């Protein structure tokens, strides 16, 4: 057997197997997360009761890799990426013994959490804008961290010392909902709205189809109080 062939088999043995371990662990955690979402929304519905029947909330599974939550005027999409990633080599985690001693600990699955306006789906406004609220990274040993907005960016960043348990999932879900409900729409600048095409106004007549987003026309980064990767 040639040296190159031996190297190929070695990489398959080591790296490819690690990636499979990460993928299946992330898939199991995402299934648990979907159960947490279902339970959380049921409990919120029950607690809210009939205080205002105009306000709706629900959980909906969209398959193995996606789930949807509606709460008042917002929709949250939880999406598990089917690929496995490695932390960038410039990330500060590579200075830790946890990754120095075993580089395979730096391979992670990713669960993305997006926020959309509920009306964007209701009125089929295909050009409306959603926002990435948080990303959950989890490795084969169930160590995790969250990159996200405001409290999501600093409450869950102990990758070496934290494991993604059901209790942690509940905390993440509740933090995500709190952030979403507090992230309000702002009116876009007047100068951005004073020109409208014939197509847009005809579409508006048909289905309210003018592009909308919570911070349309504003710098979304101005709302970014979360910790970024270093």
Confidence (pLDDT) at 201: 64
Confidence (pLDDT) at 19: 95
Q: 148: which strand partners?
A: 134
Confidence (pLDDT) at 218: 36
Confidence (pLDDT) at 20: 95
Tell me: the pLDDT tens digits for 170-217?
Answer: 999 999 999 999 876 555 565 666 666 666 666 666 655 545 555 543
Residues 69 and 223: their CA atoms lie apart, in Å, by 22
Full-model pTM: 0.82
At residue 96, the 3 state secondary structure works out as coil
Residues 101 and 96: their CA atoms lie apart, in Å, by 8
Residues 27 and 48: their CA atoms lie apart, in Å, by 31
Residues of the chain with pLDDT under 50: 210, 216-222, 225-230
């Amino acid at each position: 057997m040639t040296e190159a062939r031996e190297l190929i088999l070695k990489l398959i043995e080591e790296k490819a197997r690690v990636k499979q371990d990460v993928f299946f662990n992330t898939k199991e955690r995402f299934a648990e997360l979907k159960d947490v979402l279902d339970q959380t929304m049921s409990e919120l519905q029950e607690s809210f009761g009939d205080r205002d029947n105009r306000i709706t909330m629900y959980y909906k599974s969209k398959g193995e890799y996606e789930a949807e939550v509606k709460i008042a005027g917002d929709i949250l999409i939880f999406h598990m990426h089917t690929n496995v990633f490695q932390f960038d080599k410039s990330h500060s985690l590579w200075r830790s013994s946890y990754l120095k001693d075993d580089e395979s600990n730096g391979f992670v699955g990713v669960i993305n959490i997006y926020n959309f306006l509920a009306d964007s789906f209701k009125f089929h406004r295909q050009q409306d804008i959603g926002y990435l609220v948080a990303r959950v990274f989890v490795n084969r040993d169930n160590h995790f961290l969250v990159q996200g907005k405001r409290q999501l960016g600093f409450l869950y960043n102990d990758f070496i010392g934290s494991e993604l348990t059901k209790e942690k999932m509940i905390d993440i879900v509740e933090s995500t909902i709190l952030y979403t409900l507090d992230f309000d729409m702002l009116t876009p600048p007047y100068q951005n709205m004073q020109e409208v095409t014939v197509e847009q106004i005809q579409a508006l007549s048909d289905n309210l189809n003018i592009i909308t987003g919570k911070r349309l026309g504003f710098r979304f980064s101005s709302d970014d109080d979360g910790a970024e990767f270093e």
